[in-house]
A = this chain, B = another copy of it.
Amino acid sequence: MPKFEEFKEFQAKISRYGQAIALMHWDLETNAPNNAIEYRSKALGELTEALFKMSVSDQMGEFLDYFSKKENYGELGEFDQAMVRVAKKDFDKFKKLPPQLVRKLAETTSKAGHFWKKAREEDNFSMFEPYLKEVVSLEKEQAEALGYEKNRYDALLDLFEPGMKTDTLRGTTNYLKEHLLPFMQELFENGKEPRYDFFEGDFDVNKQKELSLEALKFMNFDFDSGRMDMSAHPFTTKIGPKDVRITTRYNNKDLRYSLFSTMHEGGHALYELHIPEEFFETSLDEGASMAVHESQSRFWENIIGRGPRFWVFFSKKLKDIFPSFEGISSDELYKGVNIVKKDFIRTEADEVTYNFHIMLRFEIEEALINDRIKVNELPTVWRDKMKEYLGIVPPNDAVGVLQDVHWSNGQFGYFPSYMLGNLYSAQLFSKLKKDLKDYPSQIERGDSAEVLNWMVENVHKYGKMYEPEELLKKVTGETLNPKYFVDYIKEKFSTIYGL
């Protein structure tokens, strides 16, 4: 008869390996000297293997079996029950995957990643094609091993967005096509593009850093429990409940990159920092899902950071650090960070076009997994869909089908999280506005404490206790409803573009 404390200690042990691994990855991206990579990879491999072995060990299985038994489960408190439930679900999922499939996937994606990079550099899809074929085939195998009811793609979706189904997604994308696509087309035809020339110039990187730190201060980011560094691709990493680190990147020609990267990652960090400390080193110490996480980063980046209230406050900070903005009004600044563009690149897309970039990827990967299209058809399908949704055709595959790393990594089922994150953030925001009538004037004076607290109380404090749908319903009273997002976009961009 194991004690629950022993189970927690075992989880803590596993987590501690994870903490070391997180630091080792963070260090590679931020500080490690160039030549460190070779031995660091081996050390990472060693600890990752040790962690994985413990995660799927018989000992873990015995703990979970014991505490999942009705009579023992019933004895546990609410949090402990959730901890067992979540851990058991993950454990069972892992156990369904044959070890040789896991190994094969790791090997294949490692090779595929290498050839994806080369293919993109040389704009040569055929270099990547055979490896992608193999990845797709293994992903299908993985979906079969995991099991599903209706659609093979559901099994992969569930890895990133627990409970999400292809049917729901399709309903959502249809709604967006029906209601957002015409609006976007109208905007491109009849909208009046605001000024944004003042955002382009030559901006000292140290001053950009200062500005980013000001934005984090506004967000109540606790610098005693985190830090900000620079890396090629911005990311957030949690090393401890009071050690959450973000990175940003700088473009000296346009300060919007670093500012919004910082607010985006800052949003992820706030989520991690406010998951209760008691959840640390347990299965509950995570966001509810990738998409719920993304709802937090997009909330701070877009709804707050690209919102009119924030710029009433922040324009003074901007001008203090960059006097060249003197004479530009808050309203002009607000509009200048909300330019809508037909662009080939997802990561640089604005709020209006972004979801169409995702839609295209979702439709392609779902069809691939279900054998309705073949890998060699991808460049053509990509171009067709870009034409259909955004009205543009990429001049080459490097800025087309080869632009994202995800498929080479085997992350089929991940892309929808970005879209769902946007939709969740608008749905949460609509509830927040009702609960916090005074929020606009708070943000205008640079006080985000109540807004943050609302997110903590409604989202952060539950960690991974609830699945996304459950959580959304608990907070907003309904499940995913894309109307909130569409209304938010229409209202915001009608004003900005004078429609």
Which residues from B are CB-within-8-Å of A241?
Answer: 39
A228-267: which residues lie under 8 A (CB-CB) from chain B?
Answer: 239-243, 245
A240 partner, pick from B31, B36, B47, B243, beta carbons under 8 A: B36
Q: Within 8 Å of chain B (Cβ to Cβ): is A46? A: yes
- Tell me whether chain A's interface is mostly helix, strand or loop, or mixed: helix
Q: Within 8 Å of chain B (Cβ to Cβ): is A347? A: no
Interface segment, one of A12-20, A361-369, A460-468: A12-20
A35 partner, pick from B27, B43, B225, beta carbons under 8 A: B225
- Chain B, Cβ-Cβ closest to A34: B224
Asked if B243 contacts A16 (CB within 8 A), the reply is no
Q: Within 8 Å of chain B (Cβ to Cβ): is A213? A: no
Which residues from B are CB-within-8-Å of A13?
Answer: 46
- Chain B, Cβ-Cβ closest to A22: B43
7 A–B contact pairs at CB < 8 A? A19-B39, A23-B24, A23-B27, A33-B227, A35-B240, A35-B242, A38-B240
Asked if B40 contacts A240 (CB within 8 A), the reply is yes
A 63-96 binary contact with B (CB < 8 Å = 1; else 0): 0000000000000000000000000000000000
Asked if B38 contacts A242 (CB within 8 A), the reply is yes
Known: A17-B46, A46-B13. A239 touches B23 (CB 8 A): no
Q: Within 8 Å of chain B (Cβ to Cβ): is A280? A: yes
Q: Within 8 Å of chain B (Cβ to Cβ): is A196? A: no
Asked if B227 contacts A35 (CB within 8 A), the reply is no
What is the size, in residues, of chain A's interface with B at 8 Å between Cβ atoms?
A: 37
Asked if A43 contacts B31 (CB within 8 A), the reply is no
A 1-30 binary contact with B (CB < 8 Å = 1; else 0): 000000000001100110111011001000
Asked if B227 contacts A39 (CB within 8 A), the reply is no
- Chain B, Cβ-Cβ closest to A224: B34
Q: Within 8 Å of chain B (Cβ to Cβ): is A32? A: yes
- Chain B, Cβ-Cβ closest to A281: B39
- Chain B, Cβ-Cβ closest to A18: B43
Q: Within 8 Å of chain B (Cβ to Cβ): is A410? A: no
A33 partner, pick from B32, B33, B42, B224, beta carbons under 8 A: B224
- A400 CA to B281 CA in the complex, in Å? 44
Asked if B16 contacts A42 (CB within 8 A), the reply is yes
Which residues from B are CB-within-8-Å of A222?
Answer: 35
- A223 CA to B33 CA in the complex, in Å? 7
Which residues from B are CB-within-8-Å of A31?
Answer: 31, 227
Which residues from B are CB-within-8-Å of A36?
Answer: 225, 239-240, 242-243
Not counting A33-B225, A35-B240, A39-B242, a sample of 17 additional A-B residue pairs whose C-beta atoms are within 8 angstroms of each other reads A16-B46, A16-B47, A17-B46, A19-B40, A20-B23, A20-B24, A23-B23, A31-B31, A33-B227, A33-B243, A33-B245, A34-B224, A34-B225, A35-B242, A38-B242, A39-B280, A40-B240
A19 partner, pick from B12, B34, B43, B245, beta carbons under 8 A: B43
Which residues from B are CB-within-8-Å of A243?
Answer: 32-33, 35-36, 39-40
Q: Within 8 Å of chain B (Cβ to Cβ): is A226? A: yes
- Chain B, Cβ-Cβ closest to A226: B33
* Min distance, Cβ A222 to any Cβ of chain B, angstroms: 8
* Min distance, Cβ A151 to any Cβ of chain B, angstroms: 41
A20 partner, pick from B35, B47, B225, B242, beta carbons under 8 A: B47
Asked if B223 contacts A47 (CB within 8 A), the reply is no
- A225 CA to B16 CA in the complex, in Å? 27
Which residues from B are CB-within-8-Å of A21?
Answer: 20
- Chain B, Cβ-Cβ closest to A20: B20
Asked if A20 contacts B33 (CB within 8 A), the reply is no
A383-411: which residues lie under 8 A (CB-CB) from chain B?
Answer: none
